[in-house]
Amino acid sequence: MPDAVLAVALAVVLSAGATTEPGIGPLGYAAIATGCLALAVRRRAPIPVLVLTTGCMLAYAAGADPTQPAAFPVLVAVYTVVKDGRRLPAAIAGAVFLAGSLTAWLTADGTRPVRSLVERTILLLGWFLAAWIGGVVSRHREAYLEQAERRAAEAERTREETARRRAGEERLRIARELHDSLTHSISVIKVQVGVAIHLARKRGEEVPPALLAIQEAGADAMRELRATLDVLHDTGEPSGSGLDRLDDLVGRVISSGLPTTVTVTGRPRPLPAAVDRAAYRIVQEALTNVSRHAGPAAATVTLDYGERDLTVRIDDDGLASPDHRPTPGNGLSGMRERVAALGGRLHARPRPQGGFTVRAELPTEDLT
């Protein structure tokens, strides 16, 4: 757009100046218009524009006695070509225009004084030299800016690599802390529960369902911890629980005393790993909240496979009501963060008829 404005402005100025020159015919105005308007595409085709503009301005100079502004379109073309790194064509075009315009100026009237010829030559040479220097400076400036951008990009990559390295070191530190603390604690729980179950069976007593549930939960916790440690040690595709383990989760919840049913609608299909893990964690956290806070209740888990998303809904008929909203805790905050990271939406609120509902809409289309 700026090039087009410049081209039109030069055409208007030179055409207006040509009206004061005697002997300017339609060909002269056509030469002005063609030579100037060609500058609109000077960046895309610098050499053809230089040749066309130089020829048109020479034709204009040969048919009249123009003043120095006739060189302006050629100066712009020379500047563009030099900035593009092609100095030889610019030098040739400048020399041809200088020789041609001065020859036309001399042949128009043989009585012109030598002093005027020298002044005119020096003035044109100064203008072309300024255009040449301007093109060189602009080219060097662009090269400097490109180099500065490359250095900035390299510095940014270095910062990112440093951040990734530090994040990896932090993951390893967390993994060591988890391994040294939780692994030991969970192992102690599993051993104690195993001993209690063994003694009960040895005495011929019925094993309490709570002990069996604790034993299963301990085994699952150990598996989850190992999967988490694998994630912390590995920067590749993380492993972990997904909806393929939903039946095991629901079985443990039922054995702990919370009646739970699962309903699947739509057409089940393989999900992106991040969505699969998030859906499992949402169900897990929601059922945990029901067990802890809902009192005597039953829960329903619904998985709705849509064309572009997966909707996970957990309803219970517990103690929550619109008049007594539960205080949001870390569980709901964690669910919101998981859903937000996937670009989904989470709704968690008491039901009008009593109880609580959690509804997560997880997009799947852009993550496959």
| Residue of 149 and 119 predicted with greater confidence | 149
For the chain, give the percent of residues with pLDDT over 70.
85
pLDDT surpasses 90 at 135: no
- Average pLDDT score over residue span 22-44: 81
User: Of the residues 112, 147, 171, which one is the last residue of a structural domain?
Assistant: 112
How high is the pLDDT of residue 368?
A: 46
Q: Report yes or no: 100 and 31 within 8 Å, Cβ to Cβ.
A: no
The reply to whether 8 falls in a domain is yes
The reply to whether 64 falls in a domain is yes
Helix axes 87-108, 114-202, angle to 10 degrees: 160
CA separation, residue 92 to residues 51, 60, 74, 205 (Å):
10, 19, 12, 108
How high is the pLDDT of residue 84?
A: 85
Q: How confident is the model at residue 122 (pLDDT cuts 50, 70, 90)?
A: confident
How high is the pLDDT of residue 238?
A: 45
Which of 7-11, 27-31, 218-222, 246-250 is most confident? 246-250
Three-state DSSP state, 318:
coil
pLDDT surpasses 90 at 253: no
The whole-angstrom separation of Cα 2 and Cα 8 is 10
Q: Report yes or no: 89 and 50 within 8 Å, Cβ to Cβ.
A: yes
| Residue of 108 and 268 predicted with greater confidence | 268
| Residue of 221 and 245 predicted with greater confidence | 245
- Average pLDDT score over residue span 166-181: 73
Write the pLDDT tens digit of every residue in 191-242: 788 888 888 888 888 888 877 888 777 777 777 777 777 666 654 444 456 8
The reply to whether 33 falls in a domain is yes
How high is the pLDDT of residue 147?
A: 86
The reply to whether 167 falls in a domain is no
The whole-angstrom separation of Cα 89 and Cα 82 is 8
Q: CB burial class (10 A; 0-12, 13-18, 19+) of residue 66? A: buried
How high is the pLDDT of residue 56?
A: 86
The reply to whether 271 falls in a domain is yes
CA separation, residue 204 to residues 93, 196, 199, 201 (Å):
109, 12, 9, 5
pLDDT surpasses 70 at 4: yes
The reply to whether 139 falls in a domain is no
Question: Dihedrals φ, ψ of 23, to 5°?
Answer: 80, 15
User: Of the residues 74, 95, 112, which one is the last residue of a structural domain?
Assistant: 112
The reply to whether 151 falls in a domain is no
pLDDT surpasses 50 at 177: yes
Which of 179-188, 275-284, 317-326 is most confident? 275-284
How high is the pLDDT of residue 315?
A: 92
| The model's pTM | 0.43
CA separation, residue 54 to residues 46, 73, 74, 199 (Å):
12, 8, 6, 105
- CA 80 to chain centroid: 34
Number of folded domains that form the chain: 2
How high is the pLDDT of residue 117?
A: 66
Domain with 86, as residue range(s), is 2-112
Q: Which residue has the tokens 């690599």?
A: 161
The reply to whether 253 falls in a domain is yes
DSSP lists the bridge partners of residue 310 as 305, 362
Supply the CATH number for residue 351's domain: 3.30.565.10
- Average pLDDT score over residue span 56-81: 78
User: Of the residues 59, 86, 112, which one is the last residue of a structural domain?
Assistant: 112
Q: How confident is the model at residue 111 (pLDDT cuts 50, 70, 90)?
A: low
